[in-house]
């Protein structure tokens, strides 16, 4: 039975949003502007706007930018501290903007506190000072994000030198020696950033192949770029132990049956992220999760409770801000549209690793295309050899390559890997062409501004390095 005190402390809304991420805040704003009452609960005031503007994309790319501005005569520590201060100022500006844009809507109520389901329509909210209240709604959106995974390596979790990507983005002390455990995209991005700032960087990658999600020729090109910058990359390293000592943390690893050790001031595990579902009380809501803790959803992002949706990293999909944004479009279509949009509509979703130069990929690799039964034509050219791309020489960045995987029978682009200046922008053009079934020859024959990086498309699709024989 509900008491009068509980009634007074209960917020009732049309929609309850748990988490201030990209998908949740976008849906909250759209619904609030339509007059729906919305309660948005965020656990930390430091996370208004979600991971990207606070501890993810925006600050890390800001650090990429500033790291490339350092001159040989600049003091590494002083320059680094100045860069962190500037990046944090941008972060605070964006955090405030995210909060104010929603708080300005009379229909939206923002509460800072930890939410836990008590039944399928209700969450208990605990504020920082211990105050408790309840929120209930007919429709609930869960946008709780993800958390870093720390591998179960003896001594790692208790090491005084353990850092997360968030820690690195907020500390003003430049580590002299950084060890990155894991050779994935996040780890390589931070390795490149801190090497450019002046840290000694070692990447311990467990797999025998570097960047296994791209073709070997592309991975080799990335490795050459990073090695040329001074990043030490150890392939096939199995980390056994982390031992703190007077000189820092000794990271002990096996390589080809022999024990090795490298000492670090900071140790960054870059071994993935897991959905942030712990403590949400999903059992009380009747919301099912997968073995890895992700919330089970259908193609419309409905959970096992049809009135509850899961958006962004928490549903186990691709962990990109722009995917979370697209999740909000799918959910809004269910709530205020015709209900036809789904995750099945998502094709040719691009991805960028912000190295220098960036690595951007979309679609299938060469190996994946053949495995899918396509007869493949592969075109590839080193950036330094692309005559049609003078911008690379103009900005003094000629490292990298461009590669297209094309269906030899239809001339449709199956995938591309672009390791080049402006790749983060170029890949969007390729992805658009793929979504709309524009042939590679049309991309080749289009008129582009000059001098631009896009002009490379006038040439690269013609440089055929392999074409499967007809059967």
376-409 pLDDT per residue, tens: 999 999 999 999 999 999 999 999 999 999 999 9
C-alpha 68/C-alpha 196 separation (Å) is: 6
Residue 420: how many CA atoms within 13 Å on its side-chain side? 32
Residue 406: how many CA atoms within 13 Å on its side-chain side? 28
How many angstroms from the chain centroid is the CA of residue 86?
Answer: 22
pLDDT tens profile 221-249: 999 999 999 999 999 999 999 999 999 99
Give the tokens for residue 122: 């209700």
Give percent above pLDDT 90 in the chain: 88
- pTM assigned to the model: 0.93
Given a contact cutoff of 8 angstroms between Cβ atoms, the answer to whether 384 and 408 are in contact is no
Instruction: Grade residue 7 by pLDDT with cuts at 50, 70 and 90.
Output: low
Give percent above pLDDT 70 in the chain: 98
Q: Among all chains, which residue has been given the structure tokens 């402006």?
A: 422
Q: Residue 1 pLDDT more than 50?
A: no
Q: Residue 9 pLDDT more than 80?
A: no
Helix (H, G, I), strand (E, B) or coil at 304: coil
Give the tokens for residue 13: 């809304």
In degrees and rounded to multiples of 5, residue 222 shows phi and psi of -65, -45
Q: Residue 5 pLDDT more than 50?
A: no
> Which domains can be identified in the chain, with CATH numbers?
4-147+274-345 (3.50.50.60), 165-271 (3.50.50.60), 351-466 (3.30.390.30)
Q: Which residues pair with 275 in a beta bridge?
A: 146
Q: Residue 4 pLDDT more than 70?
A: no
The pLDDT value given to residue 207: 80
Given a contact cutoff of 8 angstroms between Cβ atoms, the answer to whether 411 and 210 are in contact is no
Given a contact cutoff of 8 angstroms between Cβ atoms, the answer to whether 179 and 202 are in contact is yes
**All residues at 6 or more sequence positions from 69 whose CB lies less than 8 Å from its CB, including other chains:** none
Angle between helices 216-229 and 185-197 (to 10 degrees): 20
C-alpha 420/C-alpha 424 separation (Å) is: 9
C-alpha 468/C-alpha 287 separation (Å) is: 48
Given a contact cutoff of 8 angstroms between Cβ atoms, the answer to whether 346 and 435 are in contact is no
Closest residue by Cα to residue 33 from 376, 443, 336 = 336
Q: How many other CB atoms are found less than 10 A from the CB of residue 396?
A: 7
The pLDDT value given to residue 128: 85
Q: Which residues pair with 376 in a beta bridge?
A: 407
Given a contact cutoff of 8 angstroms between Cβ atoms, the answer to whether 41 and 144 are in contact is no
CA dihedral of residues 320, 326, 330, 331 (deg, nearest 10)? 70
DSSP secondary structure letters along 16-50: EEE--SHHHHHHHHHHHHTT--EEEEES-GGGTT-
pLDDT tens profile 425-457: 999 999 999 999 999 999 999 999 999 999 999
pLDDT tens profile 239-278: 999 999 999 999 999 999 999 999 999 999 998 889 999 9
Residues annotated as catalytic (active site), given as ranges: 450
Q: What average pLDDT does this structure show over 78-105?
A: 94
Q: How many other CB atoms are found less than 10 A from the CB of residue 99?
A: 18
DSSP state of 65: H
C-alpha 240/C-alpha 148 separation (Å) is: 20
């Amino acid at each position: 039975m509900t008491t009068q005190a509980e009634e007074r402390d209960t917020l009732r809304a049309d929609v309850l949003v748990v988490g201030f991420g990209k998908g949740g805040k976008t849906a909250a704003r759209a619904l609030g502007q339509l007059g729906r009452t919305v309660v948005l609960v965020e656990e930390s005031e430091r996370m208004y706007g979600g991971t990207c503007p606070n501890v993810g994309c925006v600050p890390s790319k800001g650090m990429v930018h500033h790291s490339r501005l350092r001159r040989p005569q600049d003091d590494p520590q002083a320059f680094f501290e100045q860069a962190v201060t500037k990046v944090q100022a941008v972060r605070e500006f964006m955090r405030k903007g995210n909060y104010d844009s929603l708080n300005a809507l009379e229909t939206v109520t923002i509460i800072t506190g930890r939410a836990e389901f008590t039944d399928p329509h209700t969450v208990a909210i605990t504020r920082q000072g211990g105050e408790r209240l309840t929120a209930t709604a007919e429709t609930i959106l869960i946008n709780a994000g993800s958390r870093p995974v720390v591998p179960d390596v003896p001594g790692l979790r208790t090491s005084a030198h353990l850092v997360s990507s968030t820690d690195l983005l907020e500390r003003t002390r430049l580590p002299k020696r950084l060890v990155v455990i894991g050779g994935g995209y996040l780890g390589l991005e931070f390795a490149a950033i801190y090497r450019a700032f002046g840290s000694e960087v070692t990447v311990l990658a467990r797999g025998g192949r570097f960047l296994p999600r791209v073709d070997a020729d592309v991975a080799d090109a990335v490795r050459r770029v990073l090695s040329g910058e001074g990043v030490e990359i150890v392939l096939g390293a199995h980390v056994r132990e982390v031992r703190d000592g007077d000189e820092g943390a000794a990271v002990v690893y096996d390589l080809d049956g022999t024990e090795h050790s490298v000492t670090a001031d900071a140790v960054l595990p870059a071994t993935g992220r897991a959905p942030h579902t712990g403590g949400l009380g999903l059992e009380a809501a009747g919301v099912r999760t997968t073995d890895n803790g992700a919330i089970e959803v259908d193609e419309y992002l409905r959970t096992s409770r049809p009135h509850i949706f899961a958006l962004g990293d928490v549903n186990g999909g691709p962990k990109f801000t722009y995917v979370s944004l697209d999740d909000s479009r799918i959910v809004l279509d269910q709530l205020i549209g015709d209900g036809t949009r789904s995750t099945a509509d998502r094709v040719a979703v691009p991805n960028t690793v912000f190295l220098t130069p960036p690595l951007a990929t979309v679609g299938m690799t060469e190996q994946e295309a053949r495995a899918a039964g396509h007869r493949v034509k592969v075109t590839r050219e080193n950036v330094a050899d692309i005559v049609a791309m003078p911008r690379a020489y103009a900005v003094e960045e000629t490292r990298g390559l461009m590669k297209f995987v094309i269906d030899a029978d239809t001339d449709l682009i199956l995938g591309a890997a672009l390791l080049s200046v402006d790749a983060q922008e170029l890949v969007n053009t390729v992805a658009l062409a793929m979504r709309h079934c524009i042939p590679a020859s049309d991309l080749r024959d289009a008129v582009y501004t000059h001098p631009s990086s896009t002009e490379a498309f006038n040439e690269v699709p013609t440089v055929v390095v392999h074409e499967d024989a007809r059967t």
